[in-house]
A and B are shown apart, each in its own frame.
Chain A
């Protein structure tokens, strides 16, 4: 009996291990709609923020017929070179979009020099090639100014804290990696800017308020949770900050941040606090207003727009030209590549989520109704302040520290001496 079973199993293994001749090689691309490979860091789009945004852009390009063949590969840094070699080697993709420079940066540098006739785009970094390197003319960098929406998050948080007279505002972050320094400092700068600005334009709302009286370094409670994938830690950190008096908490922590939003939901439910009353949360990367009814705003990095932009350049045959001329494209308030969510955008987002099937229609209506109930009780000057800062940033009339974009000029240590 055993012997027969063993023979059968050995047979199965033998068949399974037999090498398949060039299995499933993707087809050559058609002329107009392009073929796109999207490379993302693990865990891929289930992070509901950064990778999700890239996927959304790619998926939209596919659904609208701009992309005929979309392949998605998710890697860890250890597998990045191997995975990317596989994507690049046979030249079957018109565009290779890299969503994570920390995962693929080294592999991209290596492969772009070896295969400079392919077209690569990468989020979040300026391509680093010498003038003589062949990769120089193959890679387009798509860069984001995340300090801009973060500063608006700080201004909104400070305004709400002044209105409800809370002693502080909070920010919960993931593990301490350099790009998060820019979110952290943008936020702290925004809080400081709001108080200075209101002291001049609307001193009544600042006078005798606890946040304004506090020393500059004590206004923002900030916690690095040490993880991007642990909602429990996000919840814990939020609870601690709310207990210490923060009435707005900005989350910059990936899936850990879902714990921040979850805490807000529970806080309101268990204490019977209606929507529109503090504490509030501020979301990140995507429009997180639809995740919780207590999210007053979201600091967006429109990676979906970045993917669509790169696809457009390839389809119009302008990719090489832009790479040769500029090497990289900045996504910021100017071209709406970064943004702070507003009612129009939230409506647009919900419409798109319903279209794609991420939300059903009735739930979409509920999200919008809750969002209205959230904004309605806040005084008009709060939104006015946020709009003012948006305008100043768009016109380039304020300078926000960029410890990630330009660490030589804005070292994080010195910024913390000033802003806490």
Chain B
């Protein structure tokens, strides 16, 4: 190379060589960036890319649930993480209509997710936030909720009630038992 003499290199040679270098440099930068971006993006999108499905949880023997009554049952969230502490708990209302006919309701109001309270005396669920009210069968009774309470899928195994739950139900991703919620 005669660069030290101060003469510019022949134009043709520089164009091709620099052209290649330029192309190669950009390519290298792009490849490196993509290589770094893939795991980072993957990490941030993790909860969406690998969503966790609801799991079956034991709610106890049928004898715990008197017929024609509704009870609040505390369980541990099957999808809880190690450090969840008390937020790893979960509550659901269990209504035993008769025999093996049950309804399992989420405690989340379908309006904006506040905790509904059950009143056995009047057979109503009431929400403290915006005054949503539901009937005993989960149907919408009054207030702003757009549908009845979210319900969970359940079955009876060896005389024990098991319920499929875990994720926080929202309007477009309701409880595992996908009912219209317009029971009354």
A binds B: no
Interface residues of B (CB under 8 A from A): none
Interface residues of A (CB under 8 A from B): none
